[in-house]
Structure 1
Amino acid sequence: MDRARASGVALLIAVAGLAFAAGWWLTARTTDAPTASSHAAPPEGMIYVPGGNTRIGADDGMPAERPVFTAQVAPFFMDVHPVTVAQFREFVEATAYVTEAERLGDAAVYDPATGGWRLVPGADWRRPRGPAAPAAPDDHPVTQVSWNDAVAYAGWCGKRLPTEVEWEHAARNARDSRDRYAWGDALVEAGRHRANTWQGTFPGHNTGDDGHLLTSPVGTYGETELGLTDMGGNVWEWTADWFRPYAERETPFEPGPASEKTQRGGSFLCHPSYCHGYRVSARSHSTPDSAFFHVGFRLVKDVEA
């Protein structure tokens, strides 16, 4: 065999070897990568949230949103929308559960006339603004539920509250999206409101341009890339975590009577001049026994290995 022919054969063998190696590598990567078929089907009413690395917080956000840190998140299932009034009623009827607001006899309601909060006797999850106000519609998020109430509901249905990191990872569409909101960078897209928030002047006048002055039916404003709804506006959502500065997240912590649990997602009361709480990095907080007419919750469930 002459030298030129021998070189050609050697080149073909090398190329074939590289192709085989590349094919093996791609197959291995495809097999290892999370896909729709690599996990059990999501339970009814939930979606699969792939795991990954996400930067939590925002350098241009409120002080409580800094410093930004990177978290590794395992995959999980998440409720498509916040728990509704109808879903919570099913729990109460099955267990005879009595919420903390009912036991205490009152709950917090915002008064737009004064721009402040007041405890309204008889306000609870059935009538979030008090006995004299209309009942909460079945397809709206349940409110006037404390963190402890949410944990009780979670235990009944075999789920749990999300951690702050899990919530923000899902809001960033499980790919570390740096969009301001879970759906993009604008509150109104092509003339369509993407969240139930406060329009007009806060606290004096809410124009209701988005169609609702208070809570809205879940799913009204569309889905995120992952298929979640109400990830901004409508109601704040309880999370599993104690509220702490990010700079202290690795230090030991012993909760006391005044310690508070973190909430995420903003509500129909949020306005850019006040809290801009429907940003994916925004945080709020309250004590675990507190109940408000703009706070609800959604749940997650672990993906079995």
Structure 2
Amino acid sequence: MAYFAGGIFMMGADSGLSNEKPVHQVTVKSFYIDRTPVTVVDFRRFIKSTGYITDAENFGNAGVFNFQKNQWELVSGATWEYPFGPDGPKAQGNHPVTQVSWNDASAYAEWAGKRLPSEAEWEYAARCGGKSKSRFSWGNELVVNGKYQSNVWQGSQLTAQQGADGFVYTSPVGYYGKTDCGLSDMGGNVWNWCADVYAAYPGSQYQYQPTENVRVIRGGSFFFDANGAYSYTVSGRSMNSIETSLFNTGFRCAIGKEQEIVK
């Protein structure tokens, strides 16, 4: 895990989407956050240790995008171990675990002696302790000298051909290197669940009625998003319901400074 000393920073982006506004001052206490998203190997250790049954397993299906039909589907038997369904490939151990709901992520975090990061902690870490003014956690461009800086969707259309960044779906965690603060995949690869109920920022013109069932996700993913590159920015934010499991959503954990890190 990477350590961040607490401090005050300006959260949000006036140049971003409506749900990122306005920029506002936030105080964050010192904390640790996982350097990478939780991997399939990590999650398998949790399952073997506890016998935990995920929401996708309880429901009997999970969300997968069908590229042939160009639509989302609930695929029977899709789980963290077989994110595309039982007829698809088995999840690779060093890739981020997916098809995990907010409930599942919270259960894992509790087992590990950790918790899900707050939305403010996530952005503070992405901004390298609140100091970075870059658009993305790694800089200001998705592509530098012809090289993708993260596992992102290529093109502005859902039908755009993929693989220019080296991967069509998820990539191994840390594949694209680390930020100056030692974090990987803080934009792209998979969305990260956060602890918070999704809500408008104080003083925002963005209209949204919060509900306990809907939580924040951060960072964007390898898959198409209507908000395009905004999804990958340090201030970009979206949401989903706590029982939802998707093939492009995972998580990382955090821990307070006063807590003991469980190896």
Paired residues of 1:202 and 1:271 also in contact (CA < 8 A): no
2:72 to 117, 129, 150: 117
SS, match of residue 73 in structure 2? strand
Aligned to 1:283: 237
- Deviation for aligned residue 1:73: 1.0
TM-score if structure 2 supplies the norm length? 0.92
Q: Distance in 1 between matches of 2:203 and 2:97?
A: 32
Counterpart amino acid of residue 295 in structure 1: T
2:51 is equivalent to residue 96 of structure 1: yes
Aligned to 1:266: 220
Counterpart amino acid of residue 265 in structure 1: G
For 1:43-88, what per-residue CA distance to the aligned partner results, in whole angstroms no more than 9, with x for missing partners?
xxx1111222111111111111111111011111110100000000
Aligned to 1:87: 42
Distance change in 2, residues 1:139/1:178 (3 Å): same
Q: Which structure is higher in RCO with an 8 Å CA cutoff and minimum separation 6?
A: 2
Paired residues of 1:123 and 1:144 also in contact (CA < 8 A): yes
Structure 2 residues without counterparts, runs of 5 or longer: none
Aligned to 2:253: 299
RMSD: 1.8
Aligned to 1:20: none
Aligned to 2:194: 239
TM-score if structure 1 supplies the norm length? 0.80
For 1:89-115, what per-residue CA distance to the aligned partner results, in whole angstroms no more than 9, with x for missing partners?
000000011100001000001123343
Matches within 5 A, 1:1-305: 46-247=1-202, 255=211, 259-270=213-224, 274=228, 276-304=230-258
Q: Distance in 1 between matches of 2:229 and 2:55?
A: 27
- Deviation for aligned residue 1:206: 2.5
- Deviation for aligned residue 1:247: 2.8
Distance change in 2, residues 1:248/1:136 (3 Å): farther
For the pair shown, the structure with the greater C-alpha radius of gyration is 1
Percent identity for Structure 1 against Structure 2: 46
Counterpart amino acid of residue 297 in structure 1: F
Structure with the higher helix share, 1 or 2: 1
Q: Distance in 1 between matches of 2:219 and 2:59?
A: 27
